[in-house]
Structure 1
Amino acid sequence: MAESARFSLASEPLALGALDGRYRSAVAPLVDYLSEAALNRDRVHVEVEWLIHLTGKSVLPGTEPLTDEQVAALRKIVTDFDGDSVTELGEIEAVTVHDVKAVEYYIGRRLENIGIDRLKPLVHFGCTSEDINNLSYAVGIKGAVDDVWLPAARALVEQITTMAEETREVPMLSRTHGQPATPTTLGKELAVVAWRLTRQLDRIANTEFLGKINGATGTYAAHYASVPGADWQEVSRTFVEGLGLTWNPLTTQIESHDWQAELYADIARFNRILHNVCTDIWSYISIGYFAQIPVAGATGSSTMPHKVNPIRFENAEANLEISNGLLDTLAATLVTSRWQRDLTDSSSQRNIGTAFGHSILAISNVAKGLDRLDVAEDVLAADLDTNWEVLGEAIQMVMRAESIAGVDGMENPYERLKDLTRGHRVDAERMREFVQSLGLSAEAEERLLALTPGSYHGIAPSLVDHLK
């Protein structure tokens, strides 16, 4: 049978991946930090600042600080970097077959118009490609974390915190091992989530973004061979710190990327906690604790009109798993390098944007999903009212306390409550009859008779205050 002809889409300007296609709007802010174009712009930025730094410190004989106008003109090369710049760099790289060398030539072309053509030899002076790349990646990743990922994650945690405060008094049956357990409040459980996520955000916010600029094998050999009188470690340190990074004084040809592994482990941990949030909320939706607010005009199921599927949380689960798959691989790969250098990190790091993108997409979906939830307090209350046996813990603990206080007849409290409650449904009347039969002190009996599954949640509401 002959194959049917089909139109090939390969030549069309279509996205291969979902992040650059279907989900582009959710991850677009990352493009300015973690795309290939952003990497090249940051390379230009690092090379330009290195040139300014060398002349400003008059490190090389025959140089003097640039004028304010010349410095401004050099930095304009960076701020003017656009689509045409990307095209030009691509054309240069097609000849050099080397991306960082293309950046050097790109900058060199512009020095004559600034009136400093004689300084062309200072562009990329003393540098190996990794000197530029490690700093460019650090600048881009730091910007993505500080300006995009952290604000989105913090906004989500604040959303969860607000929900916790609003529902701090809403009683809810706990389920440990999936079985009815000591009640809590919905707000307290949401507060646990917010607390956990906040700890990870604090770790991420305190990340050290390391950088180095010390030559082909980290020894400053070319630096001291060409200008032996300079304090090259000081020149290196002040330059790296001037970029807003932490100076790494001891490296091979590459900056060791340990800080990246640490950062990705922390983000992956945030992702995993958020994944747990998604599965829990999905489960609460399935038992009716949350009602989903329908979106006007939206279709829940293609064949079952009644359904409103929890797709935001399912979408988030998948994207968190993809993000973590990449983050875990990056963290494992980037900390190893054969001897003084291999290029495994070069290919690996080009997936950083994708890892961040799937996390940002998940955060966006969780935020949208939470925004469409209503708490079904009547369902939570009904669930509590059919599980009076959860008061067995309280009763047997009161019996223990009474026994210590010298009240007779309090022997074997656990076993007696086990006989009463295990494998049996116990309603309010039966539980109160049992309490009245124990011979408790009047104060203890009164306290237990006033207790209901809905009121037996300790100080759960006030625990939410720990989020302040």
Structure 2
Amino acid sequence: MVTRLTDSPVYAHLWSTPELEELLGETARWQAWLDVLVALARVQARHGLVPSEAAEQIAAGARAEALDLDRVTAGTRSTSHSTLGLIRELQRVLPESAREHVYVGATVQDVSDTWFGLLMRDVGAIVRRDLLALEATVLDLAERHRDTVMVGRTHGQPGAPITFGFKAASWADELRRHLDRLREGRPRWAVGQLAGAVGALAFHEAELDPLALRRDFCAELGLGDPGASWLTSRDRVAEFGHVLALVCGTLARIGTEVYELARPEIGELAEPTTATAVGSITMPHKRNPEVGEHLDTLARLARSSAGVLLEGTVVSHERDGRGWKAEWVALPEVCLLAGTALGLARTLLAGLEVHDEAMAANLERFGDRLTSERVLAGLSGRLGKHAAQDLLQGVLAGGGDVVDGVVARGVASADEVRGWMARAPVATAGRMVDEVVARAREARAGEGV
């Protein structure tokens, strides 16, 4: 029975993707935990702790489809232990000779934290892939519209000219920083956990070198060795969740820009649409910017889940279930939200409609007032910045022509004012576009994309 709207087959596409559902679904999670147990048994066999034959029997039997998940559920509830139901069901399907060699010296957190390491590695790879694809689209927008002049707005009001390429370049620059964060953070996040009861690996100390065992265990799974047990050191998970929330924040910023500039009274951008899309069931004329809107919704939820992960960094002593069990909910959630947001943003920007004629019309609509920054610069050299500010404030408050108002105050000629206005206000913006694009292209070449 589906009780959460976000899990409904009707609405699930708004909160997840098939790829991430496959990675994070119930069967995949159980199989990942079983894979961790298989890796542990194989490494323990190589170190002489369990028989090699038993390790291979565990590997052959540790398949989620071979287990009775109803038995796992019943065992988990009856024992009040997070993995004992799974252990006993795995033992049931194994040959008797292998049963005592399952889960030797490990804990719930060894299994679930190692799964987190795998999850952060694999989700991080998906996020990186989608960010790279999105960056390519945005770089193309920045280049194509390097010189497409539009109104720059501050506090929601028309300010001074910019170019749409400059706006897109700011998006691309932000996406590149997220790619940097993913690259830099991966060695911190993609690590395993083999800590034992309190992190000291005392269970294994008598028979072998526990640190060598942990190093080999992590390598078996394609993970890094953490260096020290991290049972109550939850900064890795919190950092990863916050990087994903930052990604969602950037996508929401882009979506909000499209949302605002698609308003008919502005009309500079529009989302892609289809013939079957319905904007409003009661107002058929509407074309709603639903993707941009939903990117903001996803970002709000991602920030909420990231906040839970940050709360988990404050826990006590050598083990504290309050933090990492909350992560069982919050980490998969922020992964799903970020993956969904990236997919939507890729669709939005790949089909984005840029109405440069509307951009030009809005520039014309606000006229000379959009050049006030350039006039202020010209007058500042003559009067001083603050005196020039006061003078222009008075001219503009009167609502008349800027040239006539300045000339009437006897501080500049009409030709001088028009000369200040005529100076290219977006030349430096174009240079910044070039710099962002060149830097990103160089980075992408180094990354082989």
TM bin, normalised by shorter chain, reads 0.7 to 0.9
Instruction: Tell me the equivalent position of 2:346.
Output: 367
Pick aligned residue for 2:370 from 359, 382, 390: 390
Instruction: Tell me the equivalent position of 1:82.
Output: 65
CA distance in 1 between partners of 2:247 and 2:204 (Å): 42
Q: How does 1:167-246 map to 2 (within 5 A)?
A: 167-207=145-185, 208-209=188-189, 210-224=191-205, 228-246=206-224
How far the C-alpha of 1:192 sits from its partner, in A, is: 0.5
How far the C-alpha of 1:364 sits from its partner, in A, is: 2.8
Does structure 1 retain, via aligned residues, the 8 Å contact 2:47–2:208? Answer: no
Instruction: Tell me the equivalent position of 2:135.
Output: 157
Determine if the alignment matches structure 1 residue 48 to structure 2 residue 28: no
Instruction: Tell me the equivalent position of 2:23.
Output: 33
Instruction: Tell me the equivalent position of 2:433.
Output: 464
Secondary structure of 1:181's partner?
A: strand
Pick aligned residue for 1:295 from 256, 274, 299: 274
How far the C-alpha of 1:200 sits from its partner, in A, is: 2.1
How far the C-alpha of 1:457 sits from its partner, in A, is: 1.1
Does structure 2 retain, via aligned residues, the 8 Å contact 1:291–1:374? Answer: yes
Q: How does 1:63-462 map to 2 (within 5 A)?
A: 71=56, 75-77=59-61, 80-82=63-65, 86=69, 89-90=72-73, 93=76, 98-112=81-95, 118-146=97-125, 148-207=126-185, 208-209=188-189, 210-224=191-205, 228-251=206-229, 254=231, 256-286=233-263, 287-332=266-311, 334-345=312-323, 347-351=325-329, 352-385=331-364, 386-400=366-380, 413-424=388-399, 426=401, 438=412, 448=420, 450-451=422-423, 455-462=424-431
Q: Deviations over 1:38-61 (max 9, x none)?
A: 222111111111111011233x3x
CA distance in 1 between partners of 2:113 and 2:276 (Å): 49
Q: Per the alignment, do residues 361 and 411 of structure 1 end up closer, same or farther by CA in structure 2, a change over 3 Å counting?
A: closer
How far the C-alpha of 1:311 sits from its partner, in A, is: 1.2
CA distance in 1 between partners of 2:254 and 2:20 (Å): 24
Query: TM-score scaled to structure 2, two decimals?
Result: 0.82
Q: Deviations over 1:257-294 (max 9, x none)?
A: 22001111222122223222222221111121114454
CA distance in 2 between partners of 1:260 and 1:282 (Å): 32
Does structure 2 retain, via aligned residues, the 8 Å contact 1:399–1:413? Answer: yes
Q: Per the alignment, do residues 141 and 106 of structure 1 end up closer, same or farther by CA in structure 2, a change over 3 Å counting?
A: farther
Secondary structure of 1:160's partner?
A: helix
CA distance in 2 between partners of 1:82 and 1:423 (Å): 78
Does structure 2 retain, via aligned residues, the 8 Å contact 1:134–1:255? Answer: no
Q: Per the alignment, do residues 33 and 77 of structure 1 end up closer, same or farther by CA in structure 2, a change over 3 Å counting?
A: farther
Q: Deviations over 1:53-74 (max 9, x none)?
A: 011233x3xx66569xx75x75
Q: More deviation in 21-30 or 127-136?
A: 21-30
Aligned residues: 428
Q: Per the alignment, do residues 178 and 129 of structure 1 end up closer, same or farther by CA in structure 2, a change over 3 Å counting?
A: closer
CA distance in 2 between partners of 1:353 and 1:324 (Å): 13
CA distance in 2 between partners of 1:15 and 1:350 (Å): 18
Q: Per the alignment, do residues 86 and 64 of structure 1 end up closer, same or farther by CA in structure 2, a change over 3 Å counting?
A: closer
Instruction: Tell me the equivalent position of 1:22.
Output: 10
- Long gaps (5+) in structure 2: 441-449
Secondary structure of 2:9's partner?
A: coil
Amino acid at match of 2:374: A
CA distance in 2 between partners of 1:369 and 1:436 (Å): 52
The structure in which a higher percent of residues are helix is 2
Secondary structure of 2:287's partner?
A: coil
How far the C-alpha of 1:296 sits from its partner, in A, is: 0.5
Structure whose alpha-carbon radius of gyration is higher: 1
- CA RMSD after TM alignment: 3.4
How far the C-alpha of 1:30 sits from its partner, in A, is: 1.4
Amino acid at match of 1:458: A
Q: Per the alignment, do residues 447 and 89 of structure 1 end up closer, same or farther by CA in structure 2, a change over 3 Å counting?
A: same
Q: Deviations over 1:212-271 (max 9, x none)?
A: 2121111222222xxx2511122112322432333334347x252220011112221222
How far the C-alpha of 1:109 sits from its partner, in A, is: 4.2
Does structure 2 retain, via aligned residues, the 8 Å contact 1:35–1:353? Answer: no
Does structure 1 retain, via aligned residues, the 8 Å contact 2:39–2:220? Answer: no
CA distance in 2 between partners of 1:32 and 1:382 (Å): 48
- Long gaps (5+) in structure 1: 1-12, 405-409
